[in-house]
């Protein structure tokens, strides 16, 4: 494709995206395809000759769009917000258009230095201590693995430079709440600690926060047993209920054993842009790393996950490589982000943050975050005030965990709604909500029972959309109970 062909096709695609975003409110929110349906709609071999751009664009509209859950819809309340602010889309386009290659500072100094600048902007905005340094990773899963690898190497005194973890005699242990994200267990496994060395620290039964005293007792018992505590993962905003582990109480306990403290604030980090919410990370001075994802609530298009560390040297000692073909005369003076994570090759992802912050401005971003927090409070109060409905966990941010539990606890077929029956009832009405196409929410288990997470914060979600959702939930429940009557 020549630049002139690109110009014509690019204008058409920009128009398509503008139209697509403008028309989101009337599309079904959930994807409406069956397994294999999209695969079957595509040819088995790619074309030998170029296809017209209009054909590709038509397939995008006809095949692809019905096959995605509309995360940009104002009625998307699933998982966590996954905003793709249009300002950041432009930054990402600029990155692709430039086609810059980040492998060393010298390969693209601007790629490195813009990343240094925007991560410093966000460090300051989110209230992280001066001196902490950040870099962009793809996701919080990767960032968590990187943090646990650094923790492993600290605890083992640099085992990777010797016989590896397999040469260690005293097992290293990792601590997290059972409410921590699935990536914590996964990273523990991948880093070689083993599932048997992941300790699930009990949580408060009401707030779902990690219990510091239980952590202290577990660590002491492990040490007495000849084990070495390597890391504590603190969840600031768990995936299930956005519970906020008490960092200020946890960090000193970890410090007594030299254990790495990693903070997973994948969702909640966006709220740190609000000074009134920075109390969530009180105790940060005792932590080693913090990850949050601008590609969630903040709205910098996927994939953009920030990992901040107190001491980059601890990452570099684990991640550094230095083959001859990557050396330059200025290596001692510059940041080499290749040594801060797993990949060597680096996309110019800083541009999407740069464009996003500059084109939207911090004031508007903050106003939107506050809007979402207020909407969550509104929904929490509406649910709590309505007979038969329960709010199941404290609403700390923008996620409301709820369930319909009719006062007589009798379901559509006259059964008593406890245990399995309540689960079936919940899953049935939430499937009806999502199947309606009018909104999308995520069912999730809490204390072993299914409930519904309403996670607010799509960019276009105004109060009216939350009100419509609340009406939809009640209507579906009413219809559903009605079926059995």
Q: Which of residues 312-351 bind a copy of itself (CB under 8 A)?
A: 318-319, 321-326, 330, 333-334, 342-348, 351
In 168-276 the beta strands, taken as DSSP E runs, fall at 172-176, 198-200, 228-235, 260-264
Of 25-54, binders to a copy of itself (CB under 8 A) are: 31, 33-39, 42, 44-51, 53
What φ, ψ does residue 449 adopt, rounded to 5°? Answer: -120, 145
CB of 361 to a copy of itself, least distance (A): 4
Contact between 378 and a copy of itself per CB under 8 A:
no
Of 97-126, binders to a copy of itself (CB under 8 A) are: 97-101, 103, 105-111, 113-114, 116-118, 120-121, 124-125
- Using the minimum distance from each CB to a copy of itself, give the nearer residue, 136 or 251: 136
Q: Which stretch binds a copy of itself (CB under 8 A): 192-200, 213-221, 373-381, 411-419?
A: 192-200
Contact between 185 and a copy of itself per CB under 8 A:
yes
- Using the minimum distance from each CB to a copy of itself, give the nearer residue, 201 or 315: 315
DSSP-based three-state secondary structure for 202: coil
Residue of the chain from 54, 58, 65, 384 that contacts a copy of itself (CB under 8 A): 65
Contact between 93 and a copy of itself per CB under 8 A:
yes
Q: Which of 374, 482, 433, 413 shows the shortest CA–CA distance to 75?
A: 433
Of 135-164, binders to a copy of itself (CB under 8 A) are: 138-142, 145, 149, 152, 159-164
Contact between 56 and a copy of itself per CB under 8 A:
yes
Of 223-242, binders to a copy of itself (CB under 8 A) are: 239-240
CB of 385 to a copy of itself, least distance (A): 26
The rounded distance, in Å, linking the Cα atoms of 10 and 4 is: 10
Contacts 24+ apart (CB under 8 A), 101-105: 101/345, 101/346, 102/337, 102/338, 102/345, 102/346, 102/347, 102/348, 103/326, 103/338, 103/344, 103/345, 103/346, 104/326, 104/328, 104/331, 104/336, 104/338, 105/328, 105/330, 105/331, 105/334, 105/335, 105/336
Of 465-484, binders to a copy of itself (CB under 8 A) are: none
CB of 26 to a copy of itself, least distance (A): 14
SS3 content of the chain, % helix, strand, coil (to 5): 50, 15, 35
The rounded distance, in Å, linking the Cα atoms of 434 and 77 is: 10
């Amino acid at each position: 494709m020549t630049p002139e062909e690109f110009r014509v096709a690019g204008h058409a695609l920009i128009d398509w995206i503008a139209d697509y975003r403008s028309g989101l409110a009337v599309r079904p929110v959930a994807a409406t395809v069956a397994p294999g349906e999209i695969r079957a709609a595509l040819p088995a071999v790619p074309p030998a000759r170029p296809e017209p751009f209009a054909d590709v664009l038509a397939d995008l509209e006809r095949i692809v769009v019905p096959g995605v859950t509309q995360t940009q819809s104002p009625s998307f309340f699933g998982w966590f917000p996954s905003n793709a602010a249009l300002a950041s889309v432009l930054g990402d386009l600029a990155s692709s258009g430039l086609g810059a290659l980040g492998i060393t500072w010298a390969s693209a100094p601007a790629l490195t230095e813009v990343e240094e600048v925007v991560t410093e902007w966000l460090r300051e905005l989110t209230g992280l201590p001066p001196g902490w340094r950040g870099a962009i990773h793809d996701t919080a899963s990767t960032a968590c693995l990187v943090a646990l690898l650094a923790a492993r190497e600290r605890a083992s005194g640099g085992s990777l430079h010797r016989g590896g973890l397999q040469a260690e005699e005293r097992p290293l242990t990792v601590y997290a709440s059972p409410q921590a994200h699935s990536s914590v267990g996964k990273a523990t496994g991948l880093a070689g600690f083993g599932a048997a060395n992941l300790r699930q620290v009990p949580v408060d039964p009401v707030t779902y926060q990690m219990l510091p005293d239980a952590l202290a007792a577990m660590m002491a018992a492990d040490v007495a047993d000849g084990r070495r505590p390597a890391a504590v993962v603190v969840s600031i905003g768990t995936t299930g209920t956005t519970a906020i582990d008490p960092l200020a109480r946890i960090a000193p306990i970890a410090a007594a054993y030299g254990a790495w403290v990693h903070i997973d604030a994948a969702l909640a980090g966006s709220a740190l842009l609000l000074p009134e919410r920075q109390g969530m990370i009180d105790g940060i001075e005792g932590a080693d790393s913090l990850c949050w994802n601008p590609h969630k609530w903040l709205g910098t298009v996927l994939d953009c996950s920030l990992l901040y560390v107190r001491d980059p040297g601890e990452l570099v000692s684990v991640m550094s490589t230095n083959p001859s073909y990557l050396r330059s005369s200025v290596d001692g003076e510059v940041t080499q982000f290749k040594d801060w994570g797993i990949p060597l090759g680096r996309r110019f992802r800083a541009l999407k943050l740069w464009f996003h912050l500059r084109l939207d401005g911090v004031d508007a971003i903050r106003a939107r975050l506050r809007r979402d927090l207020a909407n969550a409070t509104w929904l929490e109060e509406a649910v709590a005030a309505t007979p038969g409905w329960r709010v199941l966990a404290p609403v700390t941010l923008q996620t409301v965990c709820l369930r319909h539990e009719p006062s007589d606890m009798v379901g559509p077929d006259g059964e008593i709604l406890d245990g399995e029956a309540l689960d079936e009832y919940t899953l049935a009405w939430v499937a009806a909500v999502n199947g309606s196409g009018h909104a999308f929410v995520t069912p999730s288990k809490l204390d072993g029972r299914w409930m519904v997470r309403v996670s607010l914060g799509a960019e276009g979600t105004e109060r009216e959309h939350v009100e419509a959702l609340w009406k939809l939930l009640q209507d579906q429940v009413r219809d559903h109970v009605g079926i059995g009557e």
